[in-house]
């Protein structure tokens, strides 16, 4: 019985020491993204997203939502400033629909920074601006 206790104590001490030797690596998503954002100089649209509470959850979610929008080429989320900047393809990105997507995912106070919107995408059939059927109501 004493041998069992001594073996268990040695194993616990060995495993505990190995766990503390591991290094933790922290990556700041803002540093990684800022260095490579919009290298080709595309036009950008900036959003205020005041409800972002943490960079690992909300920041990643905002980046994912905006990245999925048609015409979005690159997205940079500045968590500290509570903003997201989207590099866009002119004529293909609809900032109103992107704003609606943010609001739909519970970022209810999101808005276009400085009120500057990207032009709605062109309707391929007629070569005119397409009508936005779903708009965000921001209060």
Q: What are phi and psi of 4, to 5 degrees?
A: -60, -45
Name the residue with higher pLDDT: 4 or 45: 45
Question: What does DSSP assign to residue 69?
Answer: S
Q: Are 41 and 34 in contact (CB under 8 A)?
A: no
- Tens digit of each residue's pLDDT (9 = 90 or more) over 96-124: 999 999 999 999 999 998 765 555 555 55
Query: What is the residue-averaged pLDDT of the chain?
Result: 75
Interior/surface letters 39-56, b for 16+ CB within 10 angstroms, e for the rest: eeebebbbbbbeebeebe
Q: What is the pLDDT of residues 61-87, one digit of tens each?
A: 999 999 999 999 999 999 999 999 999
Domains (range + CATH), the chain:
29-129 (3.30.70.100)
Residue 40 has pLDDT above 80, yes or no: yes
């Amino acid at each position: 019985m004493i041998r069992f206790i001594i073996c268990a104590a040695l194993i616990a001490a060995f495993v505990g020491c190995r766990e503390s030797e591991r290094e933790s690596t922290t990556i700041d998503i803002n540093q990684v993204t800022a260095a490579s954002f919009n290298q080709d100089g595309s036009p950008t649209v900036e959003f205020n997203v005041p409800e972002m509470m943490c960079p690992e959850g909300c920041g990643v979610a905002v980046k994912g939502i905006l990245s999925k929008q048609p015409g979005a080429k690159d997205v940079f989320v500045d968590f500290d400033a509570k903003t997201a900047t989207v590099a866009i393809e002119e004529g293909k990105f609809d900032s109103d629909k992107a704003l609606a997507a943010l609001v739909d995912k519970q970022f209810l106070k999101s808005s276009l920074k400085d009120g500057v919107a990207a032009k709605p995408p062109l309707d391929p059939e007629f070569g005119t601006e397409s009508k936005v059927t779903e708009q965000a109501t921001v209060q």
